[in-house]
Structure formats: C-alpha cells, structure tokens
Amino acid sequence: MPRNESRSYVKKDNFGTDGERPFRTFDDKKNTSRSTDSRPFRKREEGAPAKPYSGAPRPFAPKTSVMRSRKESNSVDDGKIRLNRYIANSGICSRRKADELISAGVVSVNGVPVSELGYKVDPAKDEVRYNGELLKREKKIYVLLNKPKDYITTTDDPQERRTVMSLVEKASRERIYPVGRLDRNTTGLLLMTNDGDLADKLSHPSYGITKIYHVELSKSLSQGDLNKIQFGLELEDGIIKPDSVSYVAGGSKREVGIQIHSGKNRIVRRIFEHLGYEVVKLDRVVYGNLTKKDLPRGRWRFLEEHELIQIKHLIK
C-alpha cells in the first residue's frame, strides 16, 4: 500500500558511523522545512578501522490503530497461541503462509484437521502436524550475513547457481531462510532466521523498516537529477520518495548514499534507471538497526541480544 507522503522524516543524527558511509541530506535552500543536517556520507579509507556504532535509525511508526489491532491479534490466552503463529515458529513458513496451509486443510491438531483461521493451540500440550509430519517449535536462530556478489537470495535454485544458503550452512542445524531479497549483483546486509513471525513483520510494508544503500553509478549524477530523486519520482508502480539522498563525501559524483523504507522490488536500481543511469554497484549498509560493523564480505554472525531486542522493538 503506498505510504502517505506526509510522513515524518527519520532524524539523521540517529545514524552513527559504523565503518560504512553515513550520508548527509541534500540542503534544500528553497524549502527550509526540510532537514539540513550537513554531516556527510563519509568515505572510509581502504583498510581503515571501523568507527563504533553510536545509534540506530527509528523507522516510521505505524498508526496507533494498526499497532493496537496487531497487538490484539497476537494476544495470548491461558498460554495458548494462534495456530498460524505456532506453525511460523516451527520454521517452515511465515504466519501469512501458515494461514494458507490451514485453509487448505493440511494442518491437524491432536489428529483432527483444522481449517479455522484464528484457532488457538497450547504449545505445551497440543500436537500439531503438517501433512502428517509433527511440527516442533524450533530454537530461534538469527543470522546476519554480509552478502557478496553473484549469490542468489533463495533457499534453492533450479539452475544450480550459488545461493546464500551455502554461505550460512554451518550457522545452525535449524532451517533458516532470508528475510526479503537482495538481487544477485547487490551486496550487503541480509538477515536470515527461522522466526517466521519476525520475518513476516520485517517484510511487511506497514512497518517501514529503513534501509541505507551505497550506490555507484556508471556516470556522475547531476545535481538536477539528485534533486528530482529527493523530491520524489513517479515510477510505473507509483510515486517513490526516499527518506534522504546525497553524494558520498570524499568520493566522486558517481557515488551516492540513499536511505529508503520502501520494500518494492529492485526499487533503488529502478530509481536511477528511470533517470538514465546504470547502477554499477549496490551495497546495503544498514538494515533497520543492523549495520555491517566488523562483518567482512561473505561472512556471517549471530545477532547479539541487544540487536535482537532493538529490531523486535521496531515492529511492535
């Protein structure tokens, strides 16, 4: 659903330097109501140590009514939880997909098929099966990967191309899968988990999870085109307006930093292609509250407890 364009902007001061390139907001002299934070999207020297991360961005908050309805739908009575949540917690799919399985009649509770959406189960007592296979609540695993180029963001590829799963195969015995996607040639942060409920919410547009990308173009971005991007472009699927965009300080005008909360397919590439630019490199350097600090390309790590708490806070 398109987001109201009158949404408040995220305060740029909340983005600390994490060894990547935080960026400055375009200084619009004609409209002083816009943020004019002049701190640059700094370019770090090759091999230089990463600076400590000092904060995390705050995403656009859902309306109170939306928050209330979600909290009510997630409520727990006498230890019971919704069946779709139990299925999502087993790691086989998201909660939304679980609703489809329930409606299809392939889920049973204590030997009885259940097709009622909203049905509740007791995780400590009830036996839930999918196509006859017993589902167990898995230990939750949260893995952050710095995706390299030429890897497909999928759990399996019929063309036998390299997938991100091969990079995290030693992370856990539990089945984990990517939250959202990055194009084959796009690098950077990718969260992987078996927490279907969390994955579903992070992917849902109503939560507006913030992403920051470093873009390298085939030619210099003109000031006029940068202004057009800042004020919003009308693409084939609607108007898109990034939270902020600017040149990378210390780099050429071919290097641009862009902050965006939209989850539309290939949205960053399409923004620049719409104006006649080819994206040579695209790197996601921030996802929600997560950064690439101390995480080399092609490597992964488990989320730290405080990171997990923060990212769950973003979707409440």
156 is annotated as an active-site residue:
no
154: which DSSP letter? S
Whole-number Å distance between alpha carbons of 110 and 197:
23
Query: Rg of the chain over CA atoms, in angstroms?
Result: 21
Which of 303, 87, 82, 311 shows the shortest CA–CA distance to 203?
311
List helix spans (H) across the chain.
64-73, 83-89, 95-103, 196-203, 223-231, 267-274, 305-313
Name the catalytic one among 183, 225, 237, 283.
183
User: Using CA atoms, how far apart are residues 150 and 148, in angstroms rounded to an integer?
Assistant: 7
Q: Are 210 and 223 in contact (CB under 8 A)?
A: no
Q: What's the count of helices (H) and strands (E) in the chain, helices before strands? A: 7, 18
Instruction: Identify any residues that bridge with 253 across adjacent strands, giving them in sequence order.
Output: none
Phi, then psi, of 222 in degrees rounded to 5:
-70, 155
CA distance 258 to 24: 10
Instruction: Supply the residues annotated as catalytic.
Output: 183
